Amino acid sequence: MAGGKEIRTKIRSIQNTQKITRAMEMVAASKMRKAQDRMHAARPYAQKMRSVVAHVAAASLEYKHPFLIERDVARVGYIVISSDRGLCGGLNNNLFRMLISDMAQWHDNNMEMDFCTIGNKALMFFKRFGANIVSQATHLGDAPAIEALIGTVKVTLDAYTDGKIDRLFVAYNNFVNSMTQTPVIEQLLPRKPSEEEEVKHRWDYIYEPDSKVVLDQLLTRYIEALVYQGVVENGASEQAARMVAMKAASDNAGDLIHELQLVYNKARQAAITQELSEIVGGAAAV
Amino acid sequence: MAMTIHVDIVSAETEIFSGTANMVFAPAQMGEVGIAPRHAPMITRLKAGQVRLHNDGQEEQVFYVSGGVLEVQPHVVTVLSDTALRADDIDEAAALEAKKRAEDAIADRQSDFEYAKAKAELAEAVAQLQALKKIRKIR
């Protein structure tokens, strides 16, 4: 049995760790609330974008934009959104695991993949993986600005327009609620019409100055909006996952301290008993 | 009661306005457009300027946009405004920056975290400087 002093130092060190994890839990909780607000604030734009693009796709266009046309797949691109920092449970790893299994279908057909990483963890992971990273953005902070994403997204969009990639996916953690975050992989390009869209109409918009220019800008903004939404969703997921992970860590530290306290008490009791019996033994000898 | 049209003004980061108006004025790329209820469906690019909403018997409401897209349906007007200053060359610079970052990240395998962070910050500062120069030239 370990000596009393060692156990006491151990308990103190665990208590210090617990203080840190508890503080991180509280920080994550307050950051999560802000991240959630940001997520809700970004929703109207993304929704409006979706509905406008749905109208455009359904309208009888004189000009077919490449973003809306399905073509044969020779190479695919992924935009991977992860967190910058760790200590958030299995959040990033779950996403990467899902990605790997999704990537297998392309790999099996000898198709190559380009990656665009957002967040430090994704960059590190795919770097180690030896993947072809074409662009990256890290350290977006707690309040990611859309400006930080423009360049990164443009690289992949240009690659798509130039025919270097024929399909573009975005992968991020979807914020369901503070206990559940699910990794999702969505196809960005070519645009897949969602099920609820049944706008069948024959009219077309009036385009100013002309349909090509307007659609170019509109569809670029559309992709940017979707990626931005992914980033804010992932941000909220990160904070939620961190909160849960830190809560678990604090609880575990509590259990550990409780057990060590028992051991310590036993050791102390044993020491006292031993001392007493020594005294009694000594007195009897005299 | 005069006819009204529903107006939504949103930016990528937040919702700016949602309500009704009798008449909407917006700075379209080819000149300012005025949109009354039952306007034909239209999509146009916006340049930097003011979006003005007229309501009978009320003061005019003014919103500034730095660009974006205007979508008009007979009873709904949607302004998808940009928050950032956008121009093709600035976008291009940002794209090059993102590419370069990726190349750098792959190149220095042994560099530690702090170094990578400092480098990213430096790259960001350079990009901002470039953007500023461009803005000055435009003016």
The reply to whether residue B10 touches residue A205, judged by beta carbons under 8 angstroms, is no
Contact between A142 and A36 (Cβ < 8 Å): no
- Asked whether the CA dihedral B14, A244, A234, B104 is positive or negative, the reply is positive
Is 80 exceeded by the pLDDT of residue B87? Answer: no
Q: Of B13, B33, B92, which is closest to A41 when you measure between CB atoms?
A: B13
pLDDT higher than 60, residue A24? yes
pLDDT > 90: what percent of chain B? 13
- What CA–CA distance (Å, rounded) separates A234 from A122? 12
Percent of chain B's residues with pLDDT above 70? 82
Query: Across all residues in chain B, what is the average pLDDT?
Result: 80
The string of pLDDT tens digits covering residues A93-151 is 999 999 999 998 888 888 888 999 999 999 989 888 888 888 888 888 888 888 888 88
Query: What Rg, from alpha-carbon coordinates, does chain A have?
Result: 28
Which residues of B fall within a CB distance of 8 Å from A117? 102
A217 vs B45: CB contact, 8 Å cut-off? yes
Helix (H) and strand (E) counts in chain B? 2, 9
CA distance B24 to chain A (A): 17
Q: Closest Cα of chain B to A87: distance in Å? A: 16
Q: How confident is the model at residue A214 (pLDDT cuts 50, 70, 90)?
A: confident
pLDDT band at B139 (very low <50, low <70, confident <90, very high): low
Residue linked to tokens 């840190």: A20
Nearest-Cα residue of chain A relative to residue B106: A127
Nearest Cα of chain A lies from the Cα of B139 at a distance, in angstroms, of 21
User: What per-residue confidence (pLDDT) applies to B111?
Assistant: 53
In this complex, do A136 and B82 lie within 8 Å of one another by their Cβ atoms?
no
- The torsion angles phi and psi of A12, rounded to 5 degrees, stand at -65, -40
R_g over Cα of chain B: 21
Res B98 pLDDT > 80: no
- Residues in CB range of A40: below 8 A, 6 or more apart: none
CB atoms within 10 A of CB A239: 25
| Cβ(A151)–Cβ(B93) below 8 Å | yes
CB A181 within 8 A of CB A240: yes
In DSSP terms, A88 is beta-bridged to A90
Is residue A158 helix, strand or coil? helix
Low-confidence winner among A90-99, A143-152, A256-265, B100-109 (lowest mean pLDDT) = B100-109
Quote the Cα angle for B59-B62-B65, to 5°: 170
> What 8-state DSSP symbol labels residue A110?
T
Q: If you average pLDDT over each of A89-93, A190-194, A248-252, B19-23, which comes out highest?
A: A248-252
Give the integer Cα–Cα distance in Å for A262 and A258. 6
- Rounded to the nearest angstrom, the minimum Cα separation between B53 and chain A is 19
The DSSP secondary-structure symbol of A67 reads G
> What pLDDT was estimated at residue A149?
86
Q: Are B53 and B70 in contact (CB under 8 A)?
A: no
Q: Is residue A47 very low, low, confident or very high in pLDDT (cuts 50, 70, 90)? A: confident
More confident residue, B108 or B50: B50
Residue A119 Rama label (left phi>0; alpha psi -120 to 50; beta): left
Interchain CB distance below 8 Å, B80 and A136: no
Residue A193 has pLDDT above 80, yes or no: no
